[in-house]
Amino acid sequence: MEKDMDIEVYKFGGSSIQSADRVKKVAEIVKGIESRNTVLIVSAMGKTTNLLEEVVNAHFDQPGRVQAALERVIDYHLRIAEELLPGDDQVVGRLNDLFVELEWGLDDQRPEQYDYVYDQVVAMGELLSSTIVTAFLKAQGVPLIWLDARDLIHTDRNFRNARIDWEKTGESISRLVRPELERQNLVLTQGFIGSTPDNENTTLGREGSDFSAAIFAYCLKAQKVTVWKDVPGVMTADPSRFEAVQKLEVLSFREAIEMTYYGAKVLHPKTIKPLQNRQIPLIVRSFLEPEAPGTSIEDQVDVVYPPIIIIEEDQLLIQLSTPDYAFMEAQHLVDAFNIVAKHGFKMNVIRNTAITLTLVTQDRPRHLPGLLEELEKHYTVRITKDVLLITIRHTHSATEDQLIQGKLILLEERFSNTVQFVTQSLPDYALR
């Protein structure tokens, strides 16, 4: 029988461990943890995921550039390891083993090709970061156990957006993590990654480390999840885009789900539901200001929200009509939705008229030709690339006017207190 424990989950994002100095800041936070019943989840360091994506893209498109792309990944991690743990041959040896595994991922060709190879390669970022962070924390005297998330998070073979086998995952986490916590060890593992029944690497979707934290919290019935980021909390807009943004002190689970669904990058879209199911609060805090309270996301919240702005770039506007201008009936819609889902495209906006179905979706350049080929068998297809999707939650006319003034609006959708605009130009980032 499982013993009741006040378990917490801490997740550290890539920006919090992108340099030796920032890893040292994380170490100070970890050393200040009062309860040893804590699981630490780490992302890849800095922009490592982007660097590894460059490796994969070079492998498929420009093989002559693979080695240079690999060396950027290798040099970056060895440099941070040397700054944190000078002369530590053990950690260098472990990193070298992972570099070899990384190169094996490029040699292992499967019918799935790109998405399969992507997961075998890109998953290594979290393994590299967790190896360095674990070694440094242990050198600082932190009682810590490193576990491989691929032994804990079990998924299907939907590479790049794998679905969780909750029963098997729960059993592995209970069997491997809980005993270490009972022995008063902190447990450190990786976000973003899992494995198939055949021990192939899988990933949980871009920014999936937040989702990993929620999975561990759900399976361990944790008291709280804290996500450490480089922003003070959940903001009303991206502070890198807009001059005047507010921190939201508190959010309901429902509002957080809505925000992530519409594309807010502060959390992975799948993060909230497991926490809501167990009523586990989530705190978004800044590792740069660890004493600041951050934003609390919890169940029942009585608050009036200001306008919340979400920008999604690299969108496609797809317009479908029947070749003979027949009505766009229910079966046409079902068939179109099935084709879009089959090729892995998420529909961000849907509008249908008598003879036209209009979709807005994230561009996936490697998957777009297959999608268009299948759609064109059934529909007349028009696409507009590189459009921008602006979503305003709790919209206000003054906010709308400032965002869209002088812009060409290709599509506008309103529902309740939310409005979405599709435009071909960026708004002026000067809301005050």
Looking at 298, 321, 354, the residue that finishes a domain is: 298
Q: pLDDT at position 429, please?
A: 54
Render each residue's pLDDT in the chain as its tens digit; 432 residues.
354 579 999 999 999 999 999 999 999 999 999 778 999 999 999 999 999 999 999 999 999 999 999 999 999 999 999 999 999 999 999 999 999 999 999 986 665 689 999 999 999 999 999 999 999 999 999 999 999 999 999 999 999 999 999 999 999 999 999 999 999 999 999 999 999 999 999 999 988 999 999 999 999 999 999 999 989 999 999 988 888 899 999 999 999 999 999 988 888 889 999 999 999 999 999 999 999 999 999 987 788 999 999 999 999 999 999 888 889 999 999 999 999 999 989 999 999 999 999 999 999 998 999 999 999 999 999 999 999 999 999 999 999 988 888 889 999 999 989 999 999 866 665 444
CB atoms within 10 A of CB 294: 23
Rounded Cα distance between 246 and 256, Å, is 16
Is 121 inside a domain boundary? yes
Looking at 298, 316, 342, the residue that finishes a domain is: 298
- Asked if 275 contacts 217 with a C-beta cutoff of 8 angstroms, the reply is yes
Classify strands 308-321 and 380-393 as parallel, antiparallel or unpaired. Answer: antiparallel
Rounded Cα distance between 164 and 156, Å, is 7
Beta strand ranges found along 135-220 (DSSP E) = 144-146, 186-190, 193-195, 201-203
User: 331 and 259 in one domain?
Assistant: no
Domain count of the chain? 2
Which structural domain, as residue segments, surrounds residue 401? 308-423
User: 368 and 269 in one domain?
Assistant: no
User: 349 and 208 in one domain?
Assistant: no
Q: pLDDT at position 1, please?
A: 37
- Asked if 315 contacts 331 with a C-beta cutoff of 8 angstroms, the reply is no
**Which CATH number does the domain housing residue 132 bear?**
3.40.1160.10
**Which CATH number does the domain housing residue 337 bear?**
3.30.2130.10
Rounded Cα distance between 137 and 139, Å, is 5
Is 153 inside a domain boundary? yes
Q: pLDDT at position 432, please?
A: 42
Looking at 298, 326, 359, the residue that finishes a domain is: 298
User: 317 and 288 in one domain?
Assistant: no
Is 303 inside a domain boundary? no
CB atoms within 10 A of CB 120: 22
Is 60 inside a domain boundary? yes
User: 380 and 238 in one domain?
Assistant: no
User: 347 and 288 in one domain?
Assistant: no
Distance of CA 82 to the CA centre of its chain: 29
User: 246 and 372 in one domain?
Assistant: no
Phi/psi zone of residue 141: left (φ > 0), alpha (ψ -120 to 50 degrees), beta? left
Is 185 inside a domain boundary? yes
User: 318 and 266 in one domain?
Assistant: no
Q: pLDDT at position 379, please?
A: 94
The closest of 266, 270, 271 to 286, measured between CA atoms, is 266
Is 194 inside a domain boundary? yes
User: 323 and 250 in one domain?
Assistant: no
Is 77 inside a domain boundary? yes
User: 334 and 220 in one domain?
Assistant: no
Is 286 inside a domain boundary? yes
| Cα dihedral across residues 10, 15, 18, 19: positive or negative | negative
- Asked if 54 contacts 67 with a C-beta cutoff of 8 angstroms, the reply is no
User: 272 and 228 in one domain?
Assistant: yes
Q: pLDDT at position 388, please?
A: 93
User: 174 and 141 in one domain?
Assistant: yes
Q: pLDDT at position 111, please?
A: 55
What interhelical angle do 124-139 and 66-84 show, nearest 10?
A: 10
